[in-house]
A and B are shown apart, each in its own frame.
Chain A
Amino acid sequence: MIKYILKRLVYIIPILIGVNLLTFALFFVVNSPDEIARLHLGNKRVTQEQIYAWNEERGYNNPLFYNNSEKGLDAIQKTIFYEKSLKLFLFDFGVSDSGRDIKYDIQQRMWPSLAIALPSLIVGVLINITFALFFVFFRSTYVDYFGVIICVALMSISSLFYIIGGQYLISKLLHLVPISGYAHGYDAVKFLILPVIISVIYGIGSGTRWYRSLFLEEIEKDYVKTAKSKGLSESSVLFNHVFKNALIPILTGIVVILPLLFLGSLIVESFFGIPGLGSYTIDAIQSQDFAIVRAMVFLGTILYIVGLILTDISYTLVDPRVRLK
């Protein structure tokens, strides 16, 4: 087990290097730092000195890979690649283009993101499983048929509609909770409740359908027929046998996204003005702060890979048949 985890950890290194090279190519080779500086300072009437100063401040003036003017180790260290890309491996995210410490910002903004994402996930999964079991129980009846149609309709609505509609209905017409904003401590609840509800409703359509198909797949299997022919009731087969076995893919599906919860949801956070990592990313994209976007790409990749490893581990925990080699 430990050997397996170690092996996986070694395996992620080439992937991280690949991602690193890719982002480096995207952000520094496709457009030179000069062009990015020009964009930030306004296209017209920018002098070379201004661009130089802007780059100097942010450390973009070094050469890309190899610094000829320095000697020894400095020749490699005083380059953009080392300063901006390799340092990410040490979780040194550096300073954003607007001069803030990215690492500090991320640490601060992680928790509000989690405060929305975690309750949405838990409540959402519970509700989706309940609906899915309900539809499966009434399978091949009109309940199931119309349930699936409603799910498809819910899936077909844009997430923006849920957010805009929810804000308008709950906050503006009914004045139940504030439209947007955030507070620390227990006050945060009134700001968090609407985004959580909306995220849950948005997920119902696809989630329920997905869980329903998992249950249906399980119900086709032979052991279910055996259980039924032994004379067990429909509901006891469903809850005691099918549900437990279908939990394996459900659980592992949840584990894989657990680490990504820290990243938060881009649009929900920005609509509700929650100072999480999602709105951080959006702000960075809109103000074209590439240092932050780069850091978030790297962070997202790491979290994704961590999720994959956790999934593998959780398989062995819930399903004794699986052995990791």
Chain B
Amino acid sequence: MFVFLLTDLFFYIIILTLLSYILYVRKTPDLLETWSYVFKNKTGALSVLVLSFFMIIALSDSIHFKNKVYDENNKKYTYTSEISSLLDIILLPIHENSEKSYSSPFSSKLYSKETVKIDKDIDKRVYPKLKYKGNHNLYSEKNIQNIFITIIISFVKTLFICFIMYLIIFYKTLFKNFKKITTYFLRNKFIYLSFFIILLIFISLYDLSIQYYVLGTDKVGEDVLYKSIKSIRTGILIGTLTTIVMLPFAIFLGIFAGYIGGFVDDIIQYIYTTLNSIPSVLLIASAILMLQVYMANNPIDFENVYERADLRLFFLCMILGLTSWTGLCRLLRGESMKLREIEYVQASQTFGLSKVSIIIRHIIPNIMHIVIITVVLDFSALVLAEAVLSYVNIGVDPTTYSWGNMINAARLEMSREPIVWWSLFAAFLFMFILVLFANLFSDAVRDAFDPRANKNYE
């Protein structure tokens, strides 16, 4: 049975908006021209590829069901209150079981010694063997050999998948014009090769983590890799949902202030200057603190743990959005003030076009580049901000998988002897990859869209 959490619905809206925007771009020649500039840039194309992989993972983690359980007494299936996502089902072999405590990456033993009874009277302090992974090599007894063979097999699988996709894409011209395909393939070899490598990384990670804890286990024995992958959804949601929340405010108020001017302009300016004057961390902190108090005092509204965590994530996005629309609003106000004076807008005014239709026809298309640049730029900052906010305990709910929560939980592990580094490493690594490619993407987008960008030097 499907369950729709609040953030799921908003995430679907985001995906739909994205898809409809892509369709719109394909129909509009000048937009297509600008976007093709992004894809011609190698880093731009690569970052789009990586980000879409992340998006797919986040999307598959946003399709939730209630679990079905066979009830022995009533002889029928019933639904539990547990909720799992499509991603959970795909990754079931990875996170099904959990160990007792810490174990290091690719290890076959626990990280700390335990007393084990060997004979009746003899106790021995040993590193106990892991129960579920690390001791079940599929292909070879030696670890290194086994890892190598697993990767080779994943390589073959990836080749096979790529071949099938290749057949699907080129099935029309496959046997007729082979030369054309080869030239096409060679021209885009960079992007095909990157796609292949990314897919290979995913598949071999999957194959490896069935046999090993690739990034170790955490304090309660949960697979760290699984936790990091689950955190992708939170990161992406915070980056995208926040902007979706703030966009209507920023666009509407910005255009209103800039185009209408006068009294309206003064009020809107006053609102955003006031909001902007409060240091954003403090504003976020105050709002989240109040939300916490509200949730603590009204526990009836938030029965389900998942819904509660989900609602908090949603509110966090709302609050982040509320604090971050001011910058964009100011930019849009300035731009629409400029546009108001331009000849073609003046001309449409003399022709008697109504204000609404001028805004829709002329203003909005001409400020969209600012919106896109800002949205993409904000994304990486928001992902990073989540970690800091979670560290201060004003981020997402502690039960939500997020990189910030992982770092927060693991920061004392560095002072442990011997140290446990893999939880922190995993969280930082995943965050780094996402933010890095988001930054590269935003650079490419800015170069393509910003008329002032120094195209000679970049």
Partners in one complex: yes
**Which size class do A's interface residues fall under?**
35 or more
Partner of B278, one of A160, A168, A282, A301: A301
Q: Which residues of A contact B363 (CB under 8 A)?
A: none
**Segment with Cβ contacts to B, from A61-69, A230-238, A283-291:** A283-291
- Please report whether the interface of chain A is mostly helix, strand, loop or mixed according to DSSP: helix
Q: Is B351 an interface residue (CB 8 A)?
A: no
A-chain residues with CB within 8 Å of residue B393 when the two chains form the complex? 285-286
Q: B384 contacts A158, CB within 8 Å?
A: yes
A56 in contact (CB, < 8 A): no
Contact A139 B424 (CB under 8 A): no
Q: Say whether chain B's binding surface is mostly helix, strand, loop, or mixed.
A: helix
Contact B294 A19 (CB under 8 A): no
With A156-B436, A158-B384, A160-B387 as given contacts, are A31 and B274 in contact (CB-CB < 8 Å)? no
Contact, CB under 8 Å: B454 / A216: yes
B286 at the interface (CB under 8 A from A): yes
- Residue B281 lies at the interface, judged by CB distance under 8 Å to chain A: yes
Complex alpha-carbon distance, A59 and B293, angstroms: 19
| Interface 9-residue window, one of A95-103, A191-199, A240-248, A260-268 | A260-268
Look across to chain A and name the residue whose beta carbon is closest to the beta carbon of B454.
A216
Does any Cβ of B come within 8 Å of A300's Cβ? yes
A35 touches B (CB below 8 Å): yes
Q: For A314, list chain B residues within 8 Å (CB).
A: none
Give, as a whole number of angstroms, the nearest-CB distance from A112 to chain B. 18
Query: Does B342 make an interface contact (CB < 8 A)?
Result: no
Would A15 and B289 be within 8 Å (CB), given that A164-B414, A293-B282 are in contact?
no
A320: Cβ under 8 A from any B Cβ: no
Cβ distance A139 to chain B, nearest Cβ, rounded Å: 5
Q: Are A158 and B270 in contact (CB under 8 A)?
A: no
CA distance in complex: A15, B272 (Å): 10
A123 within 8 A of partner (CB): no
| A141-159 interface with B by 8 A CB criterion | 144, 152-153, 155-159
Find out whether the CB atom of B457 lies under 8 angstroms from the CB atom of A216: yes
Determine whether the beta carbon of A152 is less than 8 Å from that of B388.
no
B58-104 with Cβ < 8 A to chain A? none
Stretch at the interface among A20-28, A113-121, A181-189: A20-28
Sorting the interface of chain B by its residue count into under 10, 10 to 19, 20 to 34 or 35 or more gives: 35 or more
A35 engages B293 (CB within 8 Å):
yes
In the complex the two chains form, is B278's CB within 8 Å of A140's CB? no
Rounded to whole Å, the gap between the CB of A28 and the closest CB of chain B is: 10
Of chain B, the residue at the smallest CB distance from A159 is B388
Note all chain B residues with C-beta closer than 8 A to A168. 414, 419
**Hey, what's the 0/1 contact readout for A7-36 against B, CB within 8 Å counting as 1?**
000000011001100110011001100011
Q: Judge whether B274 and A158 touch: CB under 8 Å.
A: no
Knowing A39-B297, A159-B384, A164-B411 touch, does A266 contact B286 (C-beta < 8 A)?
no
Q: Give the docked Cα–Cα distance between A38 and B297 (Å).
A: 8
A16 to chain B, nearest CB (A): 8
- A43 sits at the interface (CB 8 A): yes
CA of A40 to CA of B147, assembled, Å: 53
Given A15-B273, A15-B274, A27-B286, A158:B392 Cβ within 8 A:
no
Are B392 and A266 in touch, CB under 8 angstroms?
Answer: yes
Interface set, chain B 265-306, CB cutoff 8 A to A: 270-271, 273-275, 277-279, 281-283, 285-287, 289-290, 292-294, 296-297
B440 on interface, CB distance cutoff 8 Å: yes
Which B residues touch A217, using CB under 8 A? Answer: 452, 454
Q: Contact between B293 and A36 (Cβ–Cβ < 8 Å)?
A: yes
- Cross-chain contact B384 with A18 (CB below 8 angstroms): no
Interface residue? A296 (CB, 8 A): yes
Whether A152 pairs with B414 at a CB distance below 8 angstroms is: no
- Is B428 in contact with A161, judged by CB distance below 8 angstroms? yes
Q: Which residue of A lies closest to B387 (CB)?
A: A158
B399-415 interface mask toward A, CB cutoff 8 Å, 1 = contact, 0 = none? Answer: 00000000100010011
Residue-wise, chain B 233-277 has the 8 Å CB interface mask toward A (1 for contact) of 000000000000000000000000000000000000011011101
Query: Given A15-B270, A153-B436, A158-B431, is A300 in contact with B415 using a C-beta cutoff of 8 Å?
Result: no
Known contacts being A288-B289, A297-B278, A305-B277, is A43 close to B392, with CB within 8 Å? no
Q: Is the CB of A30 within 8 A of B392?
A: no
Set of chain A residues within 8 Å of B435, measured between Cβ atoms: 155-158
* Residues of B close to A19: CB separation below 8 A: 274, 277-278
The complex places the Cα of A26 from the Cα of B293 at a distance, in Å, of 11
* Set of chain A residues within 8 Å of B454, measured between Cβ atoms: 213, 216-217, 220
* Interface presence of B378 (CB below 8 A): no
Q: Is B10's beta carbon under 8 Å from chain A?
A: no
Interfacial chain B residues near A152, Cβ < 8 Å: 436, 439-440, 443
Closest approach, in angstroms, between the C-beta of A177 and any C-beta of chain B? 16
The interface residues of chain A lying within 8 Å CB-to-CB of B388 are: 158-160, 266-267
Q: Which 3 A-B pairs have the closest CB atoms?
A: A18-B274, A156-B436, A300-B279
A-B contact pairs, 14 of them (CB 8 A): A19-B278, A26-B286, A26-B290, A27-B290, A160-B388, A160-B411, A160-B428, A213-B454, A285-B289, A285-B392, A288-B289, A290-B289, A293-B285, A305-B277
Extra inter-chain contacts (16) besides given A158-B384, A282-B392, A297-B279, CB under 8 Å = A19-B277, A23-B278, A31-B290, A140-B456, A152-B439, A156-B380, A156-B436, A159-B388, A160-B428, A217-B452, A260-B279, A281-B282, A286-B392, A294-B286, A296-B282, A301-B279
